Structure 1
């Protein structure tokens, strides 16, 4: 279209199109970049794009004149989703009485009247450009930002997401962060605090102080990024009483029975009685997972869950992710299927006895036939027979995930995916004792040509000998009946051979039918978990050799690098092997849980700079890589996550990168490296580790002013296409 307008052979045909047809053309363009390019083809499309734009995320510094003095026509009257959480660099507040202003102002920026006047002017300009905002995301370092912004959209604002990864100001009264929006936004129905670092003690006082606003809330996400503790039983009950109209609730909770007021059956009953219209409920325990020998019996029981489910008939999405055991859960799952017929998404942690699979008839979770997504963690008695029963009973299952289920083998995975070949699209298998990478990929052969998303642990070692009871469902005499023990009687096997998935003859037929697939032709997203120091090189030979449509890969490395042996000078992690995936454009490389020495390392040990060289070597060979999210490794002793010189130098050689998001900091003089990347258009430093240091200067030479100078230089570079 741009070429037609520039040809000079007469008016563009687009000028003759009626307005409804122009809007229809834009309706086919969902990608932001495509809409921008179309809008540049002619003035009518530009005007139509601004009139119909529904969502926008802004970056930069609003205190500069370039932001404040935009042209008069720069208005988006239909825009209702506005993201301001990245608008100021380094997590500094958008509007605050304590933030320093750039040097573009001639008056004293620290004078209270000058700061208040500037903040009011910026808020007024934002309200002018975006008059109909209904959903707002904003970085709130302190309540002053919301005090200035929220009244500008008080009549239309119904959804707010707060973002903060810096420490909560210590002198704030409890609930002060939420008070401005609950007081000034009468139409507010949804509040998202999943990326907001605050205390659990801040929530209830704010809700109790504004009962009318709390009663109108229907969506409440209290994920509280970086939360080290959760809500106790009386807190959860009080929140439910304040918000009786909730339909969605996400909250971290304390299920540990050693706490006096831990969440148990009574707390769940109280929650269901106060909020009977819940459709989404996600309660998680925000603590490190304990080993099986250290776990105790939680205060949540199967009997209590039966009563709990009976009070939530509209439930569709349920997460109960505990770190302590819920025993004999099969009757509760059967009650869930009866009492909550709409349930489609289910995540359970430390639930034992979910499916005994003792007979031909389905039991436990296998009777939840409407499930579309099922995730099970730390279910120690989940067996291959259980997976076979789930495959038979859950006929709509599209997403399946297991983690730390130590009795599951490749045979069970194969039975499940064979039964659900027509529906299953997403699979996650993490940290299971008897499932190494090669065995798991082989077990997924029945859906190899259909699966679209795969998450797997990279374990290249051979698994130990699979016990007979884990492989075929047979149990020792001293096994408890709750583990699904049925004995290994040959007569029983003969009687159920025609109806049971344990039949050896059927297993052979599955293998002959599905082992011919050689390509993961529909796979678009791949997630890998690796232990610290492990290499990626065996990935291709393990079976992921042909993924013609793979667009996105996520790699998570976890462990203590200080205990790893020093790799040889020529050894690398193996990112160059990912060059075999021709359309790979997005990558997440998360080394945040890889711990090492940041400043000094003893003799014979590597510091984090050398480990970053090990992990990032070969990234330049990924020629089609368009976007990279990178979490540097960290030294927890000094709370430091910063880019080293080898990492910056290796990024510089990745010429195809257009977007680079670093979840950490770096030194000021390293920024010049990024300016030499020819296609780099969007570069961000995000200090989103919790809690981020209060004083940024203690861990880096970076300053907000130096980052602003870098942004100006980056934006002034000629960018092809």
Structure 2
């Protein structure tokens, strides 16, 4: 008699199925038998609801163990959640009965009404994330969006507003009115790109005073000393004094959060220095002994910060993840002696941006000292070259699997790929800028005499490599473990040159992210006629793509004589996408910022319908109902969303691109089709 997995006791089998985290795998497991179906339903703890809120008869009632519920993707997306429901109170009641154990909730909150109804249904709620890309109601009182949460959910300890368009005045006002609840918060995420100036010094001081038990604190601040209320020495010390239990601290400038690219030809120093001294950083780090993750991403210079980073290593023994922007002097080895960030031996993830004085020797020192690095990101560092980067990855080839090289003047696409040769068979995630040049030198010669990290033993390192020989053999080696590839392009650049540099053999590549930036109004017409997506068909396992043209600026409607509108550029970038076997696609159409419009064009809709294998399509913009009907010709498409997720989302919901009835009719037509699985 054959023994099968079904012979296991139900308790053990239930634990096995509960341990499966991949959603599609769980869905497949639930089709094995009725028993497995029941076990899957009873063990799911996380669920993202899709579909239209008006279709109450489709609300599932079999997921009784769900503790994390995401309602932010209900359609029509971006509209008030209860606007299409006849009886909002009944809808809220049915949700609470279907999911009685919810502890964590995500919801698109266009106005406080939905929160007022839903928060009362789950009084034991502990985590909440609010999402809103539309304008905040002008007449709304300060803190009105959070008031229903604090009124009904007294055990709340996790608030995420990173994608919630509000005013900085709303946060202190809400915390001030509920000091007891504020004192219980352990996570507060205010790292929101919708704040054009960030939080001022006084507001940061108030927030940290109200929330002394925070363990994770993320906030966008104004560090520019030219503006009143800037964050400087006093505020940084106040953070460590008011919140000594922090294990995660993210402080970012609004411009840094916008991820604006620096000019590769600049020296890397900003115009003004931040009002932050090394002595203050030392005092701040000394007051945060539990710190594990630090992000200090600002756009003003912090000079000679090496001694402060040495104190970070000694006073914060748990530090593992570090990101620094515009911090200079992080590694300045003298006679090859390690200093600064190179002494942070325990960090596993390091990201540095706009470090003007970092050169090859400093980079090599970081590799020698930070020998546990798994992830490394470098952006806007003008003085590092292929020589230093290759030596860096050589020293870390046993651990490094995630690399991002961006906006470095001496590291174009060709140079970056050559530098990563030593870990070509290990790397799993990679980002490079597709800047193509022929400036690589023919030979690498680096002599480094140095003491090891403990200063005990003298060593010598020498690399003598012929890059011509390297490039000949480089294309023959596969990128065996590469699963995620991220690429940046300037407007008008082509994808095809990249594949000739050695990236054609990626047998396990599953996901690719392509970002295009620039002003296409500077071009008369794209040359040649296609970007080159069809060439990605050489990757046998490629099933997911993010194509982000959201920062490609052009004319949406009427272009002046001799200029092209955005539909021509959409055709240029999407041509050939039907040749790929994509299952999931996220697409950001180009935009016209002058009229705040990012909309799918007719050529784009026609090209997207050629993706016959697609199951999931997110369009991060708007689309006419007529163009959406093109997508009905994709046989297996089952999950489509049109999302205005850019600040501020257009308010005129009566236009044909955003009308709720248009989206609903398209969804009805999508659901009427027969899909095999």
Q: Which moved more, 1:219-228 or 1:426-435?
A: 219-228
- Please give the alpha-carbon distance, in whole angstroms, between the structure 2 residues aligned to 1:673 and 1:525: 30
Matched, 1:46 2:42: no
Checking the alignment, whether the CA contact within 8 Å between 2:486 and 2:514 is kept in structure 1 is: yes
Q: Alpha-carbon deviation of 1:462?
A: 3.1
Aligned match of 2:634: 677
- Please give the alpha-carbon distance, in whole angstroms, between the structure 1 residues aligned to 2:318 and 2:661: 53
Checking the alignment, whether the CA contact within 8 Å between 1:384 and 1:473 is kept in structure 2 is: no
SS at match of 2:618: strand
Matched, 1:63 2:31: no
Matched, 1:128 2:97: yes
Q: Mapping of 1:519-530 within 5 angstroms?
A: 519-530=478-489
Checking the alignment, whether the CA contact within 8 Å between 1:79 and 1:133 is kept in structure 2 is: yes
- Please give the alpha-carbon distance, in whole angstroms, between the structure 2 residues aligned to 1:52 and 1:140: 29
Aligned match of 2:382: 406
- Please give the alpha-carbon distance, in whole angstroms, between the structure 1 residues aligned to 2:100 and 2:84: 28
- Please give the alpha-carbon distance, in whole angstroms, between the structure 1 residues aligned to 2:342 and 2:245: 25
Distance 1:701 1:629, change over 3 A: closer
SS at match of 2:161: strand
SS at match of 1:76: coil
Q: Mapping of 1:73-222 within 5 angstroms?
A: 74-95=61-82, 99=83, 101=85, 118-155=87-124, 157-222=125-190
Q: Alpha-carbon deviation of 1:229?
A: 1.8
Q: Alpha-carbon deviation of 1:357?
A: 1.6
Q: Alpha-carbon deviation of 1:696?
A: 2.5
Checking the alignment, whether the CA contact within 8 Å between 2:261 and 2:407 is kept in structure 1 is: no
- Please give the alpha-carbon distance, in whole angstroms, between the structure 2 residues aligned to 1:457 and 1:158: 41
Aligned match of 1:563: 522
Give the alignment partner of residue 427 of structure 1, picking from 403, 418, 422: 403
Q: Deviations over 1:45-72 (max 9, x none)?
A: 222222111110001222234336x6xx
- Please give the alpha-carbon distance, in whole angstroms, between the structure 1 residues aligned to 2:135 and 2:74: 19
Distance 1:21 1:278, change over 3 A: closer
Give the alignment partner of residue 567 of structure 2, picking from 590, 605, 609: 609
Aligned match of 1:586: 544
Give the alignment partner of residue 715 of structure 1, picking from 659, 666, 671: 671
Matched, 1:533 2:492: yes
Checking the alignment, whether the CA contact within 8 Å between 1:384 and 1:472 is kept in structure 2 is: no
SS at match of 2:308: helix
Give the alignment partner of residue 262 of structure 1, picking from 230, 240, 257: 230
SS at match of 1:523: coil
Matched, 1:370 2:358: no
Checking the alignment, whether the CA contact within 8 Å between 2:50 and 2:75 is kept in structure 1 is: yes
- Please give the alpha-carbon distance, in whole angstroms, between the structure 2 residues aligned to 1:427 and 1:35: 31
Checking the alignment, whether the CA contact within 8 Å between 1:165 and 1:225 is kept in structure 2 is: no
Checking the alignment, whether the CA contact within 8 Å between 1:360 and 1:499 is kept in structure 2 is: no
- Please give the alpha-carbon distance, in whole angstroms, between the structure 2 residues aligned to 1:452 and 1:17: 36
SS at match of 1:163: strand
SS at match of 2:633: coil
- Please give the alpha-carbon distance, in whole angstroms, between the structure 1 residues aligned to 2:361 and 2:388: 7
- Please give the alpha-carbon distance, in whole angstroms, between the structure 2 residues aligned to 1:625 and 1:696: 31
- Please give the alpha-carbon distance, in whole angstroms, between the structure 1 residues aligned to 2:446 and 2:7: 71
Aligned match of 2:459: 499
Checking the alignment, whether the CA contact within 8 Å between 1:255 and 1:262 is kept in structure 2 is: yes
- Please give the alpha-carbon distance, in whole angstroms, between the structure 2 residues aligned to 1:531 and 1:436: 13
Q: Alpha-carbon deviation of 1:340?
A: 0.7
Checking the alignment, whether the CA contact within 8 Å between 2:622 and 2:657 is kept in structure 1 is: no
Checking the alignment, whether the CA contact within 8 Å between 1:448 and 1:517 is kept in structure 2 is: no
Q: Alpha-carbon deviation of 1:506?
A: 9.0
Aligned match of 2:452: none
Aligned match of 2:592: 635
- Please give the alpha-carbon distance, in whole angstroms, between the structure 2 residues aligned to 1:218 and 1:620: 47
Matched, 1:329 2:309: no
- Please give the alpha-carbon distance, in whole angstroms, between the structure 1 residues aligned to 2:90 and 2:18: 34
SS at match of 2:662: helix
- Please give the alpha-carbon distance, in whole angstroms, between the structure 2 residues aligned to 1:516 and 1:41: 44
Distance 1:13 1:384, change over 3 A: closer
Aligned match of 2:643: 686
Q: Deviations over 1:95-120 (max 9, x none)?
A: 3xxx355xxx6xxxxxxxxxxxx111
- Please give the alpha-carbon distance, in whole angstroms, between the structure 1 residues aligned to 2:239 and 2:657: 49
- Please give the alpha-carbon distance, in whole angstroms, between the structure 2 residues aligned to 1:445 and 1:15: 47
Aligned match of 2:453: none
Checking the alignment, whether the CA contact within 8 Å between 1:385 and 1:473 is kept in structure 2 is: no
- Please give the alpha-carbon distance, in whole angstroms, between the structure 1 residues aligned to 2:29 and 2:457: 62
Q: Which moved more, 1:358-367 or 1:211-220?
A: 358-367
Aligned match of 1:477: none
Checking the alignment, whether the CA contact within 8 Å between 1:76 and 1:130 is kept in structure 2 is: yes
**How large is the Cα RMSD of the aligned pairs?**
2.6
SS at match of 1:454: strand
TM-score (norm 1): 0.87
- Please give the alpha-carbon distance, in whole angstroms, between the structure 2 residues aligned to 1:349 and 1:690: 24
TM-score (norm 2): 0.93
- Number of corresponding residues: 659
Aligned match of 1:706: 662
Checking the alignment, whether the CA contact within 8 Å between 2:306 and 2:330 is kept in structure 1 is: yes
Distance 1:44 1:356, change over 3 A: same
Structure 1 gaps, min length 5? 1-11, 106-117, 475-485, 487-495
- Please give the alpha-carbon distance, in whole angstroms, between the structure 1 residues aligned to 2:312 and 2:404: 24
Aligned match of 2:212: 244
SS at match of 2:280: helix
Q: Deviations over 1:310-361 (max 9, x none)?
A: 0000100000001000000111111111111110000000011111122222
Distance 1:125 1:564, change over 3 A: same
SS at match of 2:585: strand
